[in-house]
Amino acid sequence: MMTDGATALMAQAQASAQYGTQNNMAARMNSLTDGHIKTEAEARKAGEEFESMFLGQMLSHMFAGIETNEMFGGGHGETMMRSMLVDEYAKEMTRAGGIGIADAVTREILKIQEG
């Protein structure tokens, strides 16, 4: 059973991990929209990064309600690593074909560049 101090520390760690994820997401969004995409390959990469980021956000909400078994998991380490695990799941889903967002984003980027 956790003490109040441990619970507070765990909540702080979760908030810190979520804050880091949001800052990372904002930086990735800025890099996708800063106008430095010059080739079709770069547009494809930007589309895949966007899809990965989107899937990561969806998955993080799915994992938010999952309780961990303290006997076999949980703790501060799991709290800190969960966001990285979710990001890796999202990247793998995108590499495996994703859900079609990357294709749509790539088409839009190329359409905007053609002008």
Mean pLDDT of 53-75: 83
* Cα→Cα distances 67→37, 43, 64, Å: 41, 39, 8
**Domain encompassing residue 107:** 4-114
DSSP 47-73: HHHHHHHHHHHHHHHHHHTPPPPTTTS
Q: What radius of gyration, in Å, describes the C-alpha atoms of the chain? A: 18
Structural domain total, the chain: 1
* Phi, psi (deg, nearest 5) at residue 47: -65, -40
Judge whether residue 97 has pLDDT over 80: yes
Tens digits of per-residue pLDDT, 8-37?
655 666 666 666 655 666 666 665 556 677
Cα–Cα distance measured from residue 109 to residue 88, given in angstroms and rounded to the nearest whole number: 25
Q: Is the pTM of this model over 0.85?
A: no
